[in-house]
Structure formats: structure tokens, C-alpha cells
């Protein structure tokens, strides 16, 4: 019997990661965090619909509102602008929430230790990604080491990042192949009714669908042309 | 200018660590977490009085109530008993909150990154301690590595554990030498008006004062005899 805690924001990447996790684990436990991000209500809806679609064995929604109090990110601070996507830039974007993934992984590990789960599944993407430092493979490798040194001797939890080396095109292709419920996901950083089509997250997602020769089923205000 | 984020539960260990941090850092920022522990109201009072006594430059109180939802500890689950102290046992006590210190350090790092602080100060004790896996030196060393790999390239944060190798006797002696405001601290896991004198935390503290030949100034229901 293999149990996994799956970090599920409600976006495309976490949905495809959950679909891959469903192939190798018997029971999935879905974890979602509200950290004061602008589009949390819409993300939460996606989380709940995805948990149902995947028949999650357990669900946990946690509040990490202190990340909003601490600030430093356009994702949680509405006085900062969510910048237009620049997919060529090497800068860390303003949407970076300082050390967010470590906060999420710490919660996931506490839950996984009590559940006696063997894995935590994270939909982080390193290549073709947003440039966040807490999405790099070495960060996850080091966090796995911290779990090892900071939990009970009989606790053994792997961190699985099944899409970390995939391009957005490959993530879309994988989701379509596995018939993942992509139509229930939400990725936009800016709005909750129609995706804006021009923030970092929308731009990466739409380019991925374009490169995969597929149509993104969620509603957009504007669909930019890619070639 | 050196800034440090100090994890301050309100207990003896964090108070003495703050006193040591005040000797080497120009500005202290105090961080306290409510994770549903039984004696949080009394700990919070101690935190506020200590923040004032140390003239903290900033204060942040965060809610990590999900640790209570996740459970697995007698410190947060009132249906579990807080066991009597057994200072000779090698078992992990029921008061262990799964991976709590990683949750705290993740918050501290997010705050430290925004503050541009150089250090996080933790009053963990390894020797003569409670046997929690997330209090071991290798856990903190590994977490420092995670900070390095998961934060911005120009973020450099050390984890300082100034009392990790001290016995409780030495912690008491250090606190007295530095005139730390020990009378404002609270350590009991069970009660909030008078310390119980017999939980792990009280037993370790009272033995430390006894071995240092000093009198613990906080009120106890019962003061066991040590020799």
C-alpha cells in the first residue's frame, strides 16, 4: 500500500503531477494552501473539483496567511503590479513568494509523517519555468535530506517531482495522454472569471498548448498568438 | 548592521538564546507561532513581555493551526495525555509535534528573506533534551542548506543555535550571567496559571535550576526534589 501527499494548487502542473502520481500510488491525499494569493477563491474551486475527479482519499486546506503578512510578492501584495510575462528574462519575477515551497513542504511533511505516507508529490517545473529558486531540483533534493534528519527514525518520505524536467509542451502532452481533467484547472495569477492570457503563468501555459498543437479548454480574455 | 529573526516560544531556552543573540546582532525580530498548543495563551503573554524586555525591532505572530488539524502530538491533541517526564527514556515523547521546527524555520526564512536579515536564531537544545528529531544539529545544518538552494541568489541566512550543545544547567547559568528576563518566561506544557512541575518541559527546567544551584522564579504547583 503506497500513500502520497500531493501538493495541489489547482493549476495545470499540479493536475498533471496528480495524474502521474495516481499511476504509482494507491492512495492520494491532496493538500492546498491559501497564502493570500490574489486568485485563491478560483484556485480553491479548482482544487475541490480536482480532488473529486481524482477520488482523493483525504483533503487538507491550510492557511499560510503569514506569507501575505510578510509580503515581498506581487502574488500576495495587491499594491504591487503582476507584471506582463517576459519568457526570455533571467530575472526572478515579482510573483516569487519568498521561500513559499519550503513552507508548503513543511506542512506536507507534517501531514505525511502522521499519515505514514511514503511520498510527497510536487508539480514544480525547473526547465521552461518561471525562474523561482524554490523550484530547482537541488532545492527538493536538499529538502528530502531535511526530512530525513528532522523526522522520526521510522519516517521515510521521498519528494517526487515527476514533471520537473518537462517543458510546458510535454506537460500538456502528458496531461492529454493520461486524460487528466485539465478543464478543471486554473493557472492565471490575475483574475478568476476569465484567465488574463498575459501574466507569466498564462503565457507559459498558452505557449505550451500552442507548441503541443492543442487547444486550452479554459476561458481567456485574450489568447495571444504564438508561433 | 546585522539583523536576526529570533524564534521565540516564550520559554527559558528561547529567552536565553535571545539574550545571546542580542550580544552579536544589532536588530532582533521576534517570531512566535500559535500551532494550537495547550498553553498558547500563556506562551503568547511571555512572548510579548520578552519582546518588550529585549526592545525587539519587529514582532510577528503567525498561526500554524494546521499542525493542530494534522495532530499526532499530545501538545496539540487534548484527547492525548501529556505524559509524566521520564528524563532517562530514549523514546520520542508524545509531545513531539511532527516536523514542527521545519514549519517554523520556513516561516522564519520567508520573513528573513524579506527583511534581508543574516541570521535565524533558534533556541533548540540537543544534549540533555527531549529527544525530538527536529532539534538535532544535523537537522539545522541541512535546513541551512535548503535555505541556500531555495532562496534568491543574494539571500544568505545562517541558522544559529547558540545553546544547542548546552545542558539545562548551563542554559540557566548563561541566562543568569546575561541577566536575561527569565522571570517572564513560560515552559510548562500543561497549565497556564502555575507550572505543573512534572511534564517533560517542567522537569528538565527544574532540574537545570537545581543543578545550577539557583531558584526558578516562576510559580509551580509542585516543585519535585532533585539531587
Q: Name every chain B residue with its beta carbon within 8 A of the beta carbon of A66.
A: 60, 62-63, 107, 110
Nearest CA in chain B to A111: B70
A46 near A181, Cβ under 8 Å? no
Q: Does residue B227 surpass a pLDDT of 70?
A: no
Structure confidence by residue, pLDDT tens digits, B215-226 = 999 999 998 876
Residue A128 confidence (pLDDT)? 55
- Non-local CB neighbours of B38 within 8 Å, separated by 6+ positions: B75, B76, B78, B82, B189, B190
Nearest to A110 among B63, B70, B136 (CB): B70
- Non-local CB neighbours of B127 within 8 Å, separated by 6+ positions: B164, B165, B166, B167
Lowest-confidence pick of A32-46, B23-37, B124-138? B124-138
Q: If you average pLDDT over residues B12-18, what whole number do you get?
A: 97
Q: What is d(CA B196, CA B221) in angstroms, rounded to the nearest whole number?
A: 5
Instruction: Answer whether A110 sits within 8 Å of B103, measured CB to CB.
Output: yes
Q: What is the CA radius of gyration of chain B?
A: 17
Strands A58-63 and A27-34: parallel
The dihedral over CA atoms of B94, B97, B98, B99, expressed in degrees to the nearest 10, equals: -140
**Buried/exposed code over A57-78 (b: 16+ C-beta within 10 A; e: otherwise):** eeebbbbbebbbebbbbbbbbe
Chain A nearest CA to B135, separation (Å): 7
Length of chain B: 227
Q: Is A23 left (phi over 0), alpha (psi -120 to 50) or beta?
A: alpha
A76 near A96, Cβ under 8 Å? no
Nearest CA in chain A to B134: A150
Hey, of B146, B148, B152, which one would you mutate to test binding to chain A, going by the most A CBs within 10 A of its CB?
Answer: B146
Residue B6 confidence (pLDDT)? 98
Strand-pairing partners, residue B32, are B61
Nearest CA in chain B to A98: B110
Residue B132 confidence (pLDDT)? 86
Instruction: Answer whether B152 sits within 8 Å of A114, measured CB to CB.
Output: no
Nearest to B149 among A71, A107, A136 (CB): A136
Instruction: Answer whether A110 sits within 8 Å of B145, measured CB to CB.
Output: no
Q: Which ipTM was obtained for this model?
A: 0.89
Q: Name every chain B residue with its beta carbon within 8 A of the beta carbon of A111.
A: 70
Q: If you average pLDDT over residues B132-146, what whole number do you get?
A: 94
Nearest to B145 among A92, A110, A142 (CB): A142
What percentage of chain B carries pLDDT values higher than 70?
A: 97
When pLDDT is cut at 50, 70 and 90, the band that residue B28 belongs to is: very high
**B13 alpha carbon, distance to own chain's centre:** 5
Q: Name every chain B residue with its beta carbon within 8 A of the beta carbon of A126.
A: none
Distances (CA, A) of B82 to A111, A156, A211: 21, 26, 58
Residue A77 confidence (pLDDT)? 79
Residue B32 confidence (pLDDT)? 97
The DSSP symbol for B136 reads S
Strands B58-63 and B119-121: unpaired
Q: What is d(CA A142, CA B159) in angstroms, rounded to the nearest whole number?
A: 15
Q: Name every chain A residue with its beta carbon within 8 A of the beta carbon of B62.
A: 66, 69
Helix (H) or strand (E) holding A32: strand A27-34
Half-sphere exposure of B97 (CA within 13 A, CB side): 24
Residue B130 confidence (pLDDT)? 63
User: Which residue has 503569514 as its cell numbers?
Assistant: A66
- State the distance between the two ends of chain A, measured CA to CA, in whole angstroms: 46
Instruction: Answer whether A150 sits within 8 Å of B107, measured CB to CB.
Output: no
Q: Name every chain A residue with its beta carbon within 8 A of the beta carbon of B153.
A: 133
Q: If you average pLDDT over residues B87-102, what whole number do you get?
A: 84
By a Cβ cutoff of 8 Å, what residues of chain B touch chain A?
60, 62-63, 65-67, 69-72, 92, 96-103, 105-107, 109-111, 113-114, 133-134, 136, 138-139, 141-143, 145-153
Instruction: Answer whether B139 sits within 8 Å of A145, measured CB to CB.
Output: no
The residue with greater pLDDT, B108 or A83, is B108
Handedness of CA A145, A149, A150, A156 (dihedral sign): positive
Half-sphere exposure of A149 (CA within 13 A, CB side): 19
Residue A56 confidence (pLDDT)? 97
Reported pTM: 0.91
Q: DSSP secondary structure string, A97-150? A: -TTHHHHHHHHHHHHHHHHT-SEEE-----TTS---GGGSHHHHHHHHHHHHHH
Residue B74 confidence (pLDDT)? 82
Of A183, A68, A47, the closest CA to residue A123 belongs to A47
By a Cβ cutoff of 8 Å, what residues of chain A touch chain B?
60, 62-63, 65-67, 69-72, 92, 96-103, 105-107, 109-111, 113-114, 133-134, 136, 138-139, 141-143, 145-153
The residue with greater pLDDT, B111 or B71, is B111
Structure confidence by residue, pLDDT tens digits, B158-186 = 999 999 999 999 999 999 999 999 999 99
Half-sphere exposure of A227 (CA within 13 A, CB side): 1
Q: What is d(CA A134, CA B192) in angstroms, rounded to the nearest whole number?
A: 39
A6 near A18, Cβ under 8 Å? yes
Chain B nearest CA to A58, separation (Å): 12
Nearest CA in chain B to A92: B152
B197 near B158, Cβ under 8 Å? no
Nearest to B114 among A71, A102, A114 (CB): A71
Query: Can you list the residues of chain A whose pLDDT is less than 50?
Result: none
Length of chain A: 227
Q: Name every chain A residue with its beta carbon within 8 A of the beta carbon of B149.
A: 133, 136, 138-139, 141-142
Strands A158-160 and A27-34: unpaired
Q: What is d(CA B207, CA B205) in angstroms, rounded to the nearest whole number?
A: 5
Nearest CA in chain B to A134: B150
When pLDDT is cut at 50, 70 and 90, the band that residue B87 belongs to is: confident
Residue A89 confidence (pLDDT)? 75
Amino acid at each position: 500500500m503506497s500513500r502520497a501527499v500531493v501538493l495541489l494548487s489547482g493549476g495545470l502542473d499540479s493536475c498533471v503531477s496528480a495524474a502521474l502520481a495516481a499511476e504509482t500510488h494507491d492512495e492520494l491525499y491532496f493538500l492546498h494552501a491559501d497564502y493570500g494569493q490574489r486568485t485563491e477563491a478560483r484556485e480553491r474551486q479548482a482544487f475541490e473539483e480536482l480532488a473529486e475527479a481524482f477520488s482523493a482519499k483525504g483533503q487538507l486546506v491550510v492557511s499560510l496567511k503569514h506569507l501575505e503578512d510578510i509580503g515581498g510578492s506581487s502574488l500576495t501584495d495587491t499594491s504591487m503590479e503582476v507584471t506582463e510575462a517576459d519568457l526570455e528574462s533571467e530575472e526572478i519575477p515579482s510573483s516569487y513568494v519568498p521561500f513559499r515551497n519550503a513552507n508548503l513542504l513543511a506542512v506536507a511533511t507534517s501531514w505525511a509523517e502522521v499519515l505514514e505516507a511514503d511520498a510527497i508529490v510536487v508539480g514544480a517545473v525547473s526547465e521552461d519555468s518561471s525562474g523561482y529558486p524554490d523550484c530547482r531540483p537541488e532545492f527538493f533534493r536538499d529538502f528530502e535530506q531535511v526530512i530525513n534528519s528532522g523526522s522520526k527514525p521510522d519516517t521515510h518520505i521521498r519528494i517526487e517531482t515527476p514533471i520537473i524536467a518537462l517543458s510546458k509542451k510535454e506537460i500538456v502532452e502528458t496531461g492529454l495522454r493520461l486524460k487528466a481533467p485539465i478543464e478543471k484547472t486554473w493557472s492565471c495569477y490575475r483574475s478568476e472569471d476569465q484567465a488574463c492570457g498575459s501574466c507569466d503563468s498564462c503565457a507559459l501555459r498558452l505557449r505550451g498548448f500552442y507548441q503541443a498543437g492543442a487547444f486550452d479548454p479554459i476561458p481567456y480574455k485574450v489568447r495571444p498568438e504564438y508561433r
